[in-house]
Structure 1
Amino acid sequence: MVDRGEPKLAETDESASAGIAFKNPFADTTPHHPASNDNDSSRSDTKSPTSPLNDTSGPYSSRRITPSLGVQQLLSNLQPRDPLADQTPAPTSDAVAYNSRPSLPHQLQKQQHLDHLQANTGHYTSPSGDNTQTYDTRSAASHHRSIKPIATAVMAFEKARKFSTGTSVHRKRQMSTLVEKEGHFGPALTTLYLGISAVFADDHTAVVALAIHDTVYLVDFSVKHIELDDALKMGEDLIAEYVISEVQKYEHENFSKFVGAGLPTTLKYMSPTLCSRLWLEVDIVPIVMRPDDEHKEATFWDVKRVDEQADSMARKCIMHFGPSLVPLLQVGFRGIVQTDAGFRAHLTTVQNHKDTCGPATWETTLTFAKKLRANKLKMAFFSSTPQGGGVALMRHALVRFARLLGVDLTWYVPKPRPGVFRITKNIHNILQGVSHPDQRVSAEEKQAIIDWINENASRYWFSEGGPLRAPEEGGADIVVIDDPQMPGLIPLIKKYTPNRPVLYRSHIQIRSDLVAKAGSPQADIWDFLWGNIQGADMFISHPIPSFVPHNVPREKVVYLPATTDWLDGLNKHLNHWDSGYYGNLYNNACHSQRMTELNWPARKYIIQVARFDPSKGIPTVIDSYAEFRRRCDKAGITDVPQLVVCGNGSVDDPDASLIYDQTMAQLETYYPDLIRDVSVMRLEPNDQVINTLLSNAHVALQLSTREGFEVKVSEALHAGRPVIVTNVGGIPLQVKDKVNGFLVAPGDWRAVAGHLMDLFTDDELWKRMHHAARTGVSDEVGTVGNALAWFYLAAKWTEVGVETSGKGGLKGNEQWVNDMARTEAGYLYTQEENRLPRHFTQRKPESESESKDLPIHEKKAEVTA
């Protein structure tokens, strides 16, 4: 049995450590990641081991360097106070089950890491908590590392060096007036990558190097000596202050945009706020890497000067980004989704997340996180795709936050099979009632889904080392199945481990009225799905009772809204410089496809951000804009806004091309005079582009005809955008009519046009709604609120166990999960807190609730009948 507790230092081997007083702190012990290999031996500018720098007759050959008190104080004083002061180490598996999975980082290992650097002997479990590998700090040959390369790195630059590149005066003048003359978001910027490294001397001085790279070669570098005495006294992070200041200065002077920054693992500990500030303040993805991936590479890192170390970090950073300049999506063996570039992009801190929610939400979350850590429980989520769509966005954020808190939570996706995704999309459309009335799923297609699930389950998840092995064999303690693609796993899990809790999460609107009609396509599909779902211990639905079919036992039902992450690229604040860069990216994409470009800020615009899906009401968006333009012409308004309809795609959504073509055909056939003012784009994955478009829009629309929850509405409100939305699904829960937006019936394009006129002609109305939108979003739709619910369910289900012979089990009885968790933890809601309205979950007759969701032309037909 492998210890799942804190990593420990082995007994010191004094004979092997004799003569070594201090190891280069940047020859780190983070587990090896093949994706960040960097064999510097092939570079002509790398100092070889036989370089004169290794001459043992030099002035530093007999000098023993010991870690200064300043370094130790820097580590202890610069750490922000940890909200998880009693946090235990992140749990790791005691079996082969999760051996292929990167382990969880946690705050308390920082001091252990320092102890390791000082001891420099014996076998040591890596600071990331990975118990699958140990690293011999003496190296395989237990050789003595020369201390002189460290002295070389520190002393290479006795004086500071500034960046030497600059932009011509003519280009500066031309680029600075571009926005004013052409009315575009911002000028085109040169994309660059940054490398950062630092070494520390005994005199409380840090030598920080910044290396700037394009995708080919080194562009420029700088070196700065920073006195840390004041920082030690004041608890400031002067390294982070310096780096952020230099980045912003260089970007503005050279009309450039840094995309990513590479830094060694130990620098993250020396400058604890650097990574989060790079991400949240200057929109740079910080990639934290081990500089010497193999023991044989350690020598090359040691002999480098500090500027050469920064150069190496920049080159390694580039390898983590794809052609669209976003971090590469990493899916490991068994389909484990390795979020944030294989867990190397360290975007946020615990404190950052604490600042996004209220005290009661935070304390409740910590209550159950501590229980999960104390019991070393493992959670595993299963969904169909790692990218595109709301489910994937929620899971990325949840995994990221859970790792920060030391909760063992993993996420798996099956090996994709495109033909199956067409079938699952048909199922999705049929359940929502947006498919052709006669469309059905054949027996052969149902069997294809079963075969797909069985193949992935047997090959990856039930095999030795898989997450669905029994908990005592290293498998997950609790399993969550997302959406109608994956419920075929439920009977397989229950057959193998009947006492393991399995929760089913339904993310879509299910037309329960049509499901109840015998012989309907919806009834046929639901019978197929329910045959598997009924084995789950709990049915988790959006907080709309009509989304729950009639045959689901009410004691199994609980409510949980969809959520978003306020700190990810979709929602974080972007400064004017970065916003202009991403707006320019959007216009460049439009230009390449001969699509209408935006003239913001010269012209305002209206936006709907959604997948190109039959249920998103895109035809109503076009009709509403056309009516709005007619009213503007009638009122003599000449400064009319543009319209943007855009969204990302998903590998499990084959309808996007069809709906896009229908949208363009609608414009070309009925509104050719508006084509030059309407921008319709299917976007490549880039969260900040969506963020920029949504944050700068004057009004946001969401005119869905069928909807689950659609958290894009809350994202628009969080950005301070008044919204005009339809009263379907979970949308009305997020909007206060006539306070932060307007509710309209599906398909009512005249009402939408009228509200657009109000918001574009009444500045005081817009300002009131803008303020109400920014300040009225509930914690329940953020990542912390989402984690609160899942942590509670995992802790509670493990405590009570599955129901057996009428005993055990957790009764849902159509309660909100957040209410159950807050009550359990003793933090009841107060009147001052923003909370989604609970009256929506009071059951109404099916006919009444469904009639409200009907498109307006269908309602008229009902009245006529």
Structure 2
Amino acid sequence: MAYMDGITCICDNGRTLEDHRPIVGDDVISGIYRKAAALQGKRVLHVNSTYQSGGVAEMILSLVPLMNDVGVRTQWNILNGEGDFFTITKNFHNALQGQTISFSDDEKGLYLRTNECFSGQMKIDHDLVVIHDPQPLPLIRFYEKTQPWVWRCHVDLSNPDTELWEFLKDFILDYDRMVISHEEYHRKGMSMEQWICRPAIDPLSEKNRDLTDAEIAGLLEKYGVPIDKPLITQISRFDKWKDPEGVIDVFARVREHVDCRLVLCGSMAPDDPEGWAIYRRVEEKAREFIDAGDVILITAEDHLLVNALQRVSCVILQKSLREGFGLTVTEGLWKGRPVIASRIGGIPLQIEDGETGFLLDPTDTDGFAWRIRQVLENPELGERLGRAGKEHVRQNFLITRLLSDYLDMLNTELGVLNT
């Protein structure tokens, strides 16, 4: 559960570190307690731009209570921005992922003024500050820096727009550490450490916990999703980098050979103003399938629905064109389902082609269609991939590992390494 109290997000999901012991084992839990021993009472602040809709917010929502549970006093603040600000920062996001975009001085000015205004609402007297993504990046300029600041970038930085990168780099260089998700996102000319920290999911969250058959049936009925045909699902925002229009092309090819159904499910994030325009394009492209009941578009913010869809799907897709990491892939693997995804960003860290899922070039429409048909026509193949994928996530991409990584970073930055 999360709600806003001014600029602070209050999150108490009722879960403790001990609740994860049956899933990850005694050694993992004991190791976390040891790392937290020297950090008791230390204060950490996370800042990002939204408390809902998206993997970043979901990770912070699970991480903050666990950090508090092990004795690190952790707070989460949300930057207040308006429509024009989020339009600008959405363009920043696109440019960081390779799109060429021009930014006017007025736009850059609004970006800085919004951060300056927000800084007047927020006191920072913590032992460490973690700033997530570009939206609140300039905040560091509006405080007397008396503690380490960390910039955590969740997007693909392998080929950013040069002009925007140089603009943002001026702020990034003020930070003590830059945290990225993949070796390929390292940037030259940075004086601070660029530390790799893989994202993770919470296996006990509403989106990932076990569901009863009755819960699943009720959710599918509520949202009008029949399962009389094999179900193919992509869970992602209606964002051009997730290529929902390309997914429709793939489905059209599969549908020529297999009677199946496609669900595209993605909530509309408040800091993503492009979502509805892309949704309407997808709706128009898929109109014939929608009218026939073979394509279902859902924009609800319902984590239990996502959970249910992933559990009943015969195939889970992630046909992204760019992807910082791809937590929807992690979620699908955790449900023990076969995942077919693009060989880009952090997805290959999760999928070993042919072992824990299938990887393809994001533009290979025929290849995606062929792999989907292969799984639909060979259920035992999907079961084998699903088992291997779930175990890979258990070993590498659960929230306890992310917590452990953050404790390592805190011990290093605060100079309280255990001996």
SS in 2 for 1:453: helix
CA deviation string 1:760-789 (max 9, x = no partner) = 111321221222222221444211111111
Q: Within the alignment, does 1:337 sit opposite 2:12 as a pair?
A: no
Equivalent residue, structure 1, for 2:206: 569
Equivalent residue, structure 2, for 1:372: 39
CA distance in 2: counterparts of 1:581 and 1:405, whole angstroms: 36
Equivalent residue, structure 2, for 1:486: 136
Q: Which amino acid aligns with 2:180?
A: S
CA contact (8 A) 2:17 2:29 kept: no
1:674 is displaced (CA, Å) by: 7.5
Equivalent residue, structure 1, for 2:391: 775
1:405 is displaced (CA, Å) by: 2.2
Equivalent residue, structure 2, for 1:702: 318
Q: Which amino acid aligns with 2:162?
A: A
Q: Which amino acid aligns with 1:583?
A: L
The 5 Å alignment of 1:575-614 reads: 575-587=212-224, 598-600=225-227, 602-614=228-240
CA contact (8 A) 2:230 2:376 kept: no
CA distance in 2: counterparts of 1:763 and 1:565, whole angstroms: 28
TM-score (norm 2): 0.95
CA distance in 2: counterparts of 1:491 and 1:781, whole angstroms: 34
The 5 Å alignment of 1:27-66 reads: none
1:382 is displaced (CA, Å) by: 0.7
Q: Which amino acid aligns with 2:255?
A: R
The 5 Å alignment of 1:395-474 reads: 395-433=60-98, 435=99, 437=100, 439-458=101-120, 460-461=121-122, 466=123, 468=124
Gaps of 5+ in 2: none
Identity %: 27
CA distance in 2: counterparts of 1:674 and 1:665, whole angstroms: 11
CA deviation string 1:783-813 (max 9, x = no partner) = 111111111211221117xxxxxxxxxxxxx
In structure 2, relative to structure 1, the CA distance for the partners of 1:825 and 1:700 (3 Å cut) is: farther
CA deviation string 1:597-623 (max 9, x = no partner) = x221x2220000000011002122111
1:542 is displaced (CA, Å) by: 0.8
TM-score (norm 1): 0.47
In structure 2, relative to structure 1, the CA distance for the partners of 1:531 and 1:349 (3 Å cut) is: closer
Equivalent residue, structure 1, for 2:250: 624
Q: 1:736 aligns with which of 342, 352, 360?
A: 352
CA distance in 1: counterparts of 2:148 and 2:117, whole angstroms: 22
1:366 is displaced (CA, Å) by: 1.1
1:556 is displaced (CA, Å) by: 1.1
In structure 2, relative to structure 1, the CA distance for the partners of 1:478 and 1:674 (3 Å cut) is: same
CA distance in 2: counterparts of 1:388 and 1:782, whole angstroms: 19
Equivalent residue, structure 1, for 2:155: 508
The 5 Å alignment of 1:189-204 reads: none
Equivalent residue, structure 2, for 1:362: 29
CA deviation string 1:733-762 (max 9, x = no partner) = 000111121110011110111111111111
Q: 1:682 aligns with which of 290, 293, 299?
A: 299
In structure 2, relative to structure 1, the CA distance for the partners of 1:476 and 1:780 (3 Å cut) is: farther
SS in 1 for 2:403: helix
1:552 is displaced (CA, Å) by: 2.1
Q: 2:168 aligns with which of 518, 522, 529?
A: 529
SS in 1 for 2:23: coil
CA distance in 1: counterparts of 2:375 and 2:289, whole angstroms: 25
CA contact (8 A) 1:667 1:675 kept: no
Q: Which amino acid aligns with 2:226?
A: N
CA distance in 2: counterparts of 1:359 and 1:660, whole angstroms: 45
Q: Which has the higher contact order (CA 8 A, sep 6+)?
A: 2
Q: 1:549 aligns with which of 176, 187, 197?
A: 187
1:501 is displaced (CA, Å) by: 0.6
CA distance in 2: counterparts of 1:456 and 1:501, whole angstroms: 20
In structure 2, relative to structure 1, the CA distance for the partners of 1:672 and 1:332 (3 Å cut) is: closer
1:364 is displaced (CA, Å) by: 2.4
In structure 2, relative to structure 1, the CA distance for the partners of 1:672 and 1:769 (3 Å cut) is: closer
Equivalent residue, structure 1, for 2:51: 386
Q: 1:663 aligns with which of 282, 295, 312?
A: 282
CA contact (8 A) 1:610 1:647 kept: yes
Alignment size in residue pairs: 419
The 5 Å alignment of 1:3-18 reads: none
CA contact (8 A) 1:615 1:705 kept: yes
SS in 1 for 2:32: helix
1:358 is displaced (CA, Å) by: 3.9
Equivalent residue, structure 2, for 1:30: none
CA contact (8 A) 1:617 1:747 kept: no
The 5 Å alignment of 1:30-109 reads: none
CA contact (8 A) 2:156 2:345 kept: yes
In structure 2, relative to structure 1, the CA distance for the partners of 1:359 and 1:501 (3 Å cut) is: same
Q: Which amino acid aligns with 2:311?
A: S
1:825 is displaced (CA, Å) by: 7.0
In structure 2, relative to structure 1, the CA distance for the partners of 1:630 and 1:674 (3 Å cut) is: farther
